[in-house]
């Protein structure tokens, strides 16, 4: 576990914050196993990191935070683990509605949401509705989310519009694709963080991360604190984002 003793906040340039941070929260199971506990204990402790990161992002002034909470592939995990994750979602939503209201955070969700258990779906949309007028930060939970599925849906929806003469094929451009993604109202991801040492994207926001800076850390998700987030942002601010141009063109 990487311990950060200093307060790194002073090293962050508030004028160069990423507008959209996305996080693959990984390592809950390994964190629990290291402690001789069951995997679900890791998920329970992962919710503390979620709260910490959400509050810290809002405090910093990050406008969009997207968390990969449950992938389409996660349905294949043992039934008990899936049930625990769904229960944790409901309890976290119930508990954290106050945090979202106090911090002016708007909740959003992306993914194949209809596949969620009705209790989760209801709680999710209750909180989405209660926070819809908040405007400091949009917190997006990716739930039953898979990027390939999202892209397939996009292709299908656009094809139907082409078939019905609503869109002409020559007019299809990046903005039309953006408008049909689950993330339609969100900007591209600037910084993608993955915890736990794995260096994979795992079917997360494949279109939206085209120019994102990638940040991988060995820290397991339940150990990830506000100082770890600061560290990732400091590293992001050191990177030169060229978007295909040369360094000379940028300066």
Q: Please, are residues 194 and 216 in contact by the beta-carbon 8 Å criterion?
A: yes
Residue 227 interacting with ligand FPP (CB under 6 A): no
- Closer residue to ligand FPP in complex, CB, 19/33: 33
The residue whose two tokens read 């003469």 is: 165
Instruction: Tell which residue, 146, 84, 96, has the closest CA to residue 123.
Output: 96
* Neighbouring residues of 95: CB distance < 8 A, sequence distance ≥ 6: none
Examine the residue annotation and report whether 26 is marked as an active-site residue of this protein: yes
Q: Which stretch binds ligand FPP (CB under 6 A): 9-17, 39-47, 149-157, 165-173?
A: 39-47
The tokens for 85 are 């994750």
- Nearest-CB residue for ligand FPP: 29
Told to check if 46 binds ligand FPP by CB under 6 A, we report yes
194 vs 231 by CB, closer to ligand FPP: 194
Measured from the CB atom, is 221 or 236 closer to ligand FPP? 221
Q: Which residue in 142, 118, 29 sits closest to 80, CA to CA?
A: 29
* Contact indicator for 190, 19 with CB cutoff of 8 Å: yes
Of 20, 40, 41, 47, the one binding ligand FPP by CB under 6 A: 47
Residue 226 lies near ligand FPP (rule: CB under 6 A): no
20-44 burial by CB neighbour count: b if 16+ within 10 A, else e? bbbbbbbbbbbbbeeeeeebbbbbb
Q: Mark 47-61 as b/e (b = at least 16 C-beta within 10 Å).
A: bebbebbbbbbbebe
Site string for ligand FPP, 111-150 (x = CB under 6 A): ------------------------------x---------
Helix (H, G, I), strand (E, B) or coil at 153: helix
Looking at the Cβ atoms of 69 and 189, the one nearer to ligand FPP is 69
**Number of neighbouring beta carbons within 10 Å of residue 239:** 11
Catalytic choice (7, 11, 15, 26): 26
Answer for which of 18, 27, 111, 146 binds ligand FPP (CB under 6 A) is: 27
Contact set with ligand FPP (CB under 6 A): 25-30, 43, 46-47, 50, 67, 69, 74, 85, 88-89, 92, 141, 196, 221
Which residues are catalytically annotated? 26, 74
């Amino acid at each position: 576990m990487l311990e950060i003793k200093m307060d790194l906040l002073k090293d962050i340039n508030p004028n160069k914050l990423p507008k959209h941070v996305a996080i693959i929260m990984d390592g809950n199971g390994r964190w629990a196993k290291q402690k001789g506990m069951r995997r679900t204990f890791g998920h329970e402790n992962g919710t503390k990191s979620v709260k910490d990161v959400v509050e810290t992002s809002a405090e910093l002034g990050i406008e969009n935070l997207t968390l990969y909470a449950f992938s389409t592939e996660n349905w294949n995990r043992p039934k008990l683990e899936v049930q625990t994750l769904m229960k944790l979602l409901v309890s976290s939503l119930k508990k954290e509605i106050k945090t979202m209201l106090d911090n002016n955070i708007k909740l959003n969700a992306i993914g194949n949401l209809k596949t969620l258990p009705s209790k989760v779906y209801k709680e999710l949309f209750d909180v989405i509705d209660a926070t819809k007028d908040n405007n400091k930060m949009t917190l997006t939970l990716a739930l039953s989310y898979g990027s390939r599925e999202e892209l397939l849906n996009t292709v299908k929806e656009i094809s139907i519009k082409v078939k019905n003469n609503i869109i002409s094929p020559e007019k299809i451009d990046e903005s039309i694709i953006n408008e049909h993604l689950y993330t339609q109202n969100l900007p591209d991801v600037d910084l993608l963080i993955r915890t736990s040492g794995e260096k994979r994207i795992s079917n997360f926001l494949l279109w939206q991360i085209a120019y994102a800076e990638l940040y991988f850390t060995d820290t397991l998700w339940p150990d990830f604190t506000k100082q770890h987030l600061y560290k990732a942002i400091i590293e992001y601010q050191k990177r030169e984002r060229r978007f295909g141009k040369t360094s000379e063109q940028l300066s």
